[in-house]
């Protein structure tokens, strides 16, 4: 009411990596339900012209055919590890859709793959894999201890650099007239294993004492998504993982 925005980009969430989700499923469910309900309701009350809400590829069904497409979102149960987060986010999609159907609101949803980059949450316990591993590798080198990567390293992920996601969201805000959810992800061919990510990070720190701790969970093996719809809408060249990681690590070192 005070700011009177025309547009809302709804990124607020209680969010973290696999291990935060596993430890705090209930808390994450409740907080996100409240955040999402309030934001969407207020977008309606204050007559927002367009609201773009952020979902995640981790909320798709666990048991699916690959590559995953937008229309599969509600086709089955999400992975056990993060079902609190997933159902809260799936309801955000339903809530936006109901406003479109009932009030013709331009409330749409994007579905990004794993995100990384500057200004992330670098918590060792609760961060997502890239920021947690950057922090872990930094400390391992400093104290000359093994660089411990949780799980087997075999899971596959698509990673989008935060600058790319931000630029794409602005393009969607300005130019996308559709109502359909949009997966915002790097191409399938750029899918990469956690092991490869750990090796790249270790390479930037010039430290090769990597150990995989298989007492920890791997989470979902993969959640490969198809970005065809996005590519039909824009031709955007994504930052390659090496450049993105090197920018992120430089930022981390400068801001530690
Ligand atoms: P996800 O893609 O939703 O599963 O989220 P994450 O960004 O937390 O990535 C989880 C994957 O990275 C799993 O396969 C984990 O076993 C692996 N992993 C390895 N080390 C870490 C770590 O220190 N933190 C996190 N969050 N994941 C890790």
Q: What CA–CA distance (Å, rounded) separates 196 from 43?
A: 41
Q: Which of 213, 186, 185, 183 is closest to 198 using CA atoms?
A: 213
Say if CB 162 and CB 117 are below 8 A apart.
yes
DSSP assignment string, 140-180: HHHTT--EEEES-S--EE-EEEHHHHHHHHHHHHHH----S
The reported pLDDT for the residue numbered 80 is 94
Q: Which atom of ligand 1 is nearest to the CA of 58?
A: 3
Confidence of residue 147 (pLDDT cuts 50, 70, 90): very high
What spacing in Å lies between the alpha carbon of 18 and ligand 1's midpoint? 5
- Predicted local distance difference test score (pLDDT) of residue 76: 97
- Contact criterion met (CB below 8 Å) for 158 and 186: yes
159-198 pLDDT per residue, tens: 999 999 999 999 999 999 999 999 999 999 999 999 999 9
pLDDT-derived band of residue 68, with 50, 70 and 90 as boundaries? very high
CA atoms 207, 153, 248, 188: torsion sign: positive
DSSP 239: P
Q: Is 85 a catalytic residue?
A: yes
Mean of all residue pLDDT scores within the chain = 97
CA of 1 to the centre of ligand 1 (A): 39
What's the CA-to-centroid distance between 135 and ligand 1, angstroms? 13
Using an 8 Å Cβ cutoff, are 149 and 198 in contact? yes
- What is residue 241's predicted lDDT score, i.e. its pLDDT? 98
Which H or E run includes 208? none
Whether the pTM exceeds 0.85: the reply is yes
CA-closest residue to ligand 1 atom 1: 18
Q: Yes or no: say if 129 and 195 are a contact pair by the CB < 8 Å rule.
A: no
Query: What's the pLDDT score for residue 121?
Result: 97
Residue among 83, 85, 161, 176 flagged as catalytic: 85
pLDDT in tens, 18-33: 999 999 999 999 999 9
- Identify the residues whose C-beta falls under 6 Å from ligand 1: 17-19, 58, 114, 128-129, 132-133, 136, 149-151, 155, 157, 194, 216-220
Q: Which of 20, 83, 85, 129 to mutate to test the pocket of ligand 1 (most atoms within 8 A of CB)?
A: 129
């Amino acid at each position: 009411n005070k700011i009177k925005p025309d547009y809302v980009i709804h990124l607020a969430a209680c969010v973290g990596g696999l291990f935060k989700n596993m430890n705090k499923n209930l808390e994450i469910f409740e907080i996100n339900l409240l955040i999402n309900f309030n934001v969407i309701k207020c977008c309606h009350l204050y007559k927002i012209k367009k609201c773009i809400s952020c979902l995640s590829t981790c909320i798709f069904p666990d048991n699916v055919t690959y590559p995953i497409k937008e229309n599969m979102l509600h086709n089955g149960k999400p992975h056990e590890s993060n079902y609190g987060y997933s159902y809260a986010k799936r309801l955000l999609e339903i809530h936006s859709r109901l406003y479109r159907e009932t009030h013709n609101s331009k409330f749409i949803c994007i579905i990004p793959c794993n995100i990384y980059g500057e200004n992330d949450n670098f918590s060792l316990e609760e961060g997502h894999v890239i920021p947690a591993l950057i922090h872990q590798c930094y400390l391992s080198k400093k104290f000359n201890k093994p660089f411990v990567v949780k799980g087997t390293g075999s899971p596959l992920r698509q990673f989008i650099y935060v600058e790319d996601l931000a630029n794409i969201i602005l393009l969607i805000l300005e130019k996308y007239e559709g109502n359909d959810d949009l997966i915002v992800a790097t191409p399938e061919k750029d899918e990469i294993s956690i092991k490869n990510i750990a090796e790249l990070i270790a390479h930037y720190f010039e430290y090769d004492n990597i150990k995989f701790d298989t007492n920890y969970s791997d989470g979902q093996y993969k959640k490969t998504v198809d970005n065809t719809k996005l590519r039909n809408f824009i031709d955007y060249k994504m930052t390659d993982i090496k450049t993105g990681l090197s920018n992120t690590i430089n930022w981390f070192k400068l801001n530690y």
